[in-house]
Amino acid sequence: MVEAIESAVAWLEQAQLRGIRVVEKPEPALPKGYDKVVIEDASAPPIWARFYEIGTDRPIFSGRDGVIRYRLAEIEHERRVGYAWYTDAPAKLLSEDWPAWRGRRRAGANGSD
């Protein structure tokens, strides 16, 4: 179990996407009045894609046609704005939960638990 957890954390650390941010861009002509676009932003915190291609770890996206695409902009508007293709949820795990777990594990190994 420990190896699985450590491997998962290592993968999350290497799979994080830096230098991009997902923003809602006003587009009054579109059905919901906005679009979701990925912009470059060197100051953006890390985010993760919801899905990655096995073997390459490239973020992947898919419209209702089921065809894999490699850019959010390549899928239809309804799917871009209607699904959370990116997430920042692993950030808390890496910055808080993982160090706390590791600390408890080390403390237990030293007999101070």
DSSP letter for 73, please: G
Question: How does residue 105 score in pLDDT terms, banded at 50, 70 and 90?
Answer: confident
- The pTM assigned to this predicted structure is 0.86
Quote the number of domains for the chain.
1
- Show the tokens assigned to 47: 């985010």
Residue 60, domain extent: 2-109
Computed from CA positions of residues 16, 78, 71, 40, in that sequence, does the dihedral angle turn out positive or negative? negative
Q: What is the pLDDT of residues 8-30, one digit of tens each?
A: 999 999 999 999 999 999 999 99
Q: What is the pLDDT of residues 22-76, one digit of tens each?
A: 999 999 999 999 999 999 999 999 999 999 999 999 999 999 999 999 999 999 9
Q: Which residues pair with 23 in a beta bridge?
A: 37
What is the pLDDT at residue 106?
86
